[in-house]
A = this chain, B = another copy of it.
């Protein structure tokens, strides 16, 4: 931690800062410049929690030098993680495809979709049993009934299954059925849910919040990891910007940024990022090329009949076509479907 003093800070103010730092068991290094004095704090800065250095007379600003996340930080865990979920591996060297409907609407459509995405080469069936919806009057999901259909789909196809948990109650139920829990964008800073997901003992797919920084996202992952669950996969799904031509703005650079800051795998959700079916295939190719570990894509037997997110869902044929198109890109980036 570095403390930058105001240009007109008095000698006494600097001495007082030094004393506070040392009183907390840390060391202070002073550098007096022509315009300003800076104070380097040496030692574990968490000891200074509660000492609001910003408020002390003469202080201009504080610069943090070290990240607050540790367990998910590449600095302390330089090797990239490969996470095992059910029969699949997620991480470098592997290409993971998760596909299925935004919402589970009924048993038939789910089983039909499962068979189709399995045939096309997916490893995971996705499907929403609990749906977070902007309006209270929109379809909210089949809940546990939907989870039962997911389980049935796994038995029928061998696909691993992933479902979003939108509340502690949903989480408690979902862990009985699924191979992987998804924490959605709107819940990325629902800290109770993160902690519970950390204790649940099931791998977690953590979507980036609608306007979360990468730093906040990794701190959210740290909430899960700090409860003893290291099996976390990150998912970039677009951030909110002023541009309205797409539903969100996919931050594709998040892939190399995460790669440099964390050892966790990262996949991309082109369906929510763009909101437009025609853009999903080109964006999926880009995701593989940039180094993402996989994709999560919405597929529906009849997108124009879907109860949720139809405009961004692929038909079976479109998904099958896309899987074929993606194959050479996966190969080029040294990945095998697994």
List chain A positions with a Cβ less than 8 A from chain B: 2, 4, 7, 29-36, 38, 40-44, 46, 49-52, 54-56, 63, 65-66, 68-69, 75, 132-140, 166-170, 186-187, 189-193, 195, 209-211, 213-216, 219, 222-223, 226, 239-246, 249-257, 260-261, 273-274, 277-279, 282-283, 285-291, 303-307, 310-311, 328-329, 332
Cα distance A21–B171 when bound, in Å? Answer: 39
Nearest-neighbour CB distance to chain B for A78, whole angstroms, equals: 9
Contact of A138 among B49, B66, B139, B216 (CB under 8 A): B49
Q: Is the CB of A36 within 8 A of B65?
A: yes
Cα distance A243–B291 when bound, in Å? Answer: 20
Give the copy number: 4
Q: Is the CB of A210 within 8 A of B213?
A: no
Nearest-neighbour CB distance to chain B for A277, whole angstroms, equals: 8
Q: Closest B-chain residue to A8, C-beta based? A: B75
**Given A66-B35, A253-B279, A273-B253, also A192-B213 (CB < 8 A):** no
Cα distance A20–B278 when bound, in Å? Answer: 23
A279 contacts across to B, CB distance below 8 A: 253, 256-257
A305 contacts across to B, CB distance below 8 A: 50-52
Q: Is the CB of B36 within 8 A of A31?
A: no
- Name which of A135, A168, A304 has the most chain B CB atoms within 10 A of its CB: A135
30 A–B contact pairs at CB < 8 A? A2-B2, A4-B65, A7-B75, A32-B42, A35-B66, A46-B137, A49-B138, A50-B307, A54-B310, A55-B304, A55-B311, A68-B134, A135-B219, A136-B219, A166-B190, A167-B190, A167-B192, A186-B189, A190-B190, A239-B242, A243-B251, A246-B253, A250-B251, A255-B282, A256-B274, A256-B282, A257-B279, A282-B290, A286-B290, A289-B289
